[in-house]
Amino acid sequence: MFTYPFCYTPAPDIVEAAERMIRQIDNTPALRDRFAEGKMLGVLKVRLQDGGVDYLYAFSGLAGGESRVPGFVPPIFDLTDPEGHYRKTEARISALSAQLRERSDPALARERKALSVELQDWLFDHYIVHNARGEACSIREVFARKGLVPPGGTGDCAGPKLLEHAYRSGLEPLAMGEFWYGAPSGTEIRIQGRFYPSCAGKCGPLLGYMLEGLDVDPNPLAATPDPDYRILFEDDTLIVADKPSGMLCVPGKTGEASLQERLAAARPDEQVYACHRLDRDTSGIIVYAKTLEAQADIERQFQRRTTRKSYIARLSGGTEFEGPGRGLISLPIQLDYDDRPRRMVDFATGKPAETEYEILRRDPGGELLVRFVPRTGRTHQLRVHAAHRDGLARPILGDPLYGGNNRPGRLCLHAESLAFTHPRSGELLEFRSDNYDF
Q: Please, what's the largest Cα pairwise distance for the chain?
A: 76
**What is the number of other CB atoms lying within 10 angstroms of the CB of residue 344?**
23
Q: Mapping DSSP to helix (H, G, I), strand (E, B) and coil, where does residue 286 land?
A: strand
**CB distance 313 to 412 below 8 Å:** yes
Q: Mapping DSSP to helix (H, G, I), strand (E, B) and coil, where does residue 389 land?
A: coil
Of 170, 172, 189, residue with least CA distance to 180:
189
Neighbour-count burial of 378, counting CB atoms closer than 10 A to its CB (0-12 exposed, 13-18 middle, 19+ buried): buried
Q: Mapping DSSP to helix (H, G, I), strand (E, B) and coil, where does residue 157 land?
A: coil
Give the CA angle between residues 398, 404, 408 to the nearest 5°: 40
Neighbour-count burial of 58, counting CB atoms closer than 10 A to its CB (0-12 exposed, 13-18 middle, 19+ buried): buried
- Set 50, 156, 217, 279: catalytic member: 279
Neighbour-count burial of 23, counting CB atoms closer than 10 A to its CB (0-12 exposed, 13-18 middle, 19+ buried): exposed
- Crossing angle for the helix pair 158-168 and 200-210, nearest 10 degrees? 20
Answer positive or negative: Cα dihedral of 251, 254, 255, 257. negative
Give the CA angle between residues 398, 402, 403 to the nearest 5°: 65
Answer positive or negative: Cα dihedral of 177, 182, 188, 193. positive
Task: Please confirm, yes or no, whether 279 is among the known catalytic residues.
Answer: yes
Phi, psi of 139 (to 5 degrees): -60, -40
Q: What is the DSSP string of 303-357?
A: HTT-SEEEEEEEE---SPP-S-SEEEEE--EEE-TTSTT-EEE-TTTPBP-EEEE
Enumerate the active-site residues.
279
